[in-house]
């Protein structure tokens, strides 16, 4: 067993255990029995161990937020407990969210996950000012939760493929995303067939591919870390230190927000 496999196994086990306890006790109970020096980063549904590893490598403590039966019952506790929220990749959001029928290529999210993640991200955006990072599907959730819409199938509509390829992205030079990377153009991995169409209220497009597909959005609020990207930076870590910058900036923003809350209390 190599070191990475071993560490991954430990990471998943730790995240699962913490997630279990969150599901069993109130936020006061968890906080009173454990003290964490690093920010707690909630991962909405565990779809890959790479998210857990990436958060650890970026300096955070990953906590899996189980979607269970889709009930939003624990959402309020999660909002209080964790310092940052990562919305991961996955299948497709029901297009009824923006008033469309499903395209033949649409593969809908499992119902329990869909209901849970919709409640979680909506409450997170509306009731907290804590950092939020959306990756692939998570980036699409960021847009839909702000009232935006999606292109349901890029190949059918634009005649190009963004699944299982690599391509360049160009970032807006005045964006938070560009400031994080310190660059305005680089290559990314690409695993999606949907993308942002109409941009949600309070968001702006900050990255596009050469064929004009939206690759990233961020909030127009300069005081909040809220970013959605179409590519998968976590899959490129730890080897790709450029992409690691995004996860590190996210965790750092969560740590800063946590510190400011502690000072205020």
Residues labelled catalytic:
136, 232, 234
Nearest to 86, CA basis, from 31, 45, 143 = 45
Q: What is the dihedral of CA 198, 201, 206, 208, to 10 degrees?
A: -10
Nearest to 228, CA basis, from 126, 148, 142 = 142
How many angstroms separate the CA atoms of 219 and 131, rounded?
11
Residue 99, CA distances (Å) to 24, 84, 93, 112, 115 in order: 37, 30, 12, 21, 17
User: Are the C-beta atoms of residues 136 and 213 closer than 8 Å to each other?
Assistant: no
How many angstroms separate the CA atoms of 212 and 206, rounded?
12
| Token pair listed for 161 | 């493929």
Cis peptide leading into residue 238 (ω within 30°): yes
Place of tokens 């990756």: 135
How many angstroms separate the CA atoms of 86 and 251, rounded?
10
């Amino acid at each position: 067993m190599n070191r990475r496999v071993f560490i991954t196994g430990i990471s998943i086990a730790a995240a699962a255990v913490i997630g279990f306890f969150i599901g069993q006790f109130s936020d006061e109970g968890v906080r009173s029995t454990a003290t964490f020096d690093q920010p707690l980063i909630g991962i909405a549904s565990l779809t890959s161990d790479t998210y857990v590893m990436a958060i650890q490598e970026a300096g955070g403590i990953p906590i899996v937020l189980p979607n269970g039966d889709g009930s939003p019952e624990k959402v309020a506790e999660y909002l209080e407990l964790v310092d940052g929220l990562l919305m991961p990749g996955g299948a497709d959001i029901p297009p009824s969210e923006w008033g469309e029928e499903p395209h033949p290529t649409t593969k809908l999210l499992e119902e329990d996950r869909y209901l849970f993640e919709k409640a979680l991200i909506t409450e997170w955006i509306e009731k907290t000012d804590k950092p939020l990072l959306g990756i692939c599907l998570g980036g699409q959730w960021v847009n839909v939760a702000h009232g935006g819409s999606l292109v349901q199938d890029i190949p059918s509509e634009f005649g190009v493929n963004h699944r299982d390829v690599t391509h360049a992205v160009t970032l807006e030079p005045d964006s938070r995303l560009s400031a994080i990377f310190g660059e305005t153009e680089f290559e990314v991995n690409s695993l999606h067939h949907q993308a942002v169409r109409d941009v949600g209220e309070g968001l702006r497009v900050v990255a596009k591919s050469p064929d004009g597909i939206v690759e990233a959005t961020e909030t127009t609020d300069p005081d909040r870390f809220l970013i959605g990207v179409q590519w998968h930076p976590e899959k490129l870590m730890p080897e790709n230190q450029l992409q690691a910058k995004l996860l590190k900036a996210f965790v750092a923003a969560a740590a800063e927000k946590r510190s400011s809350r502690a000072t205020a209390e």
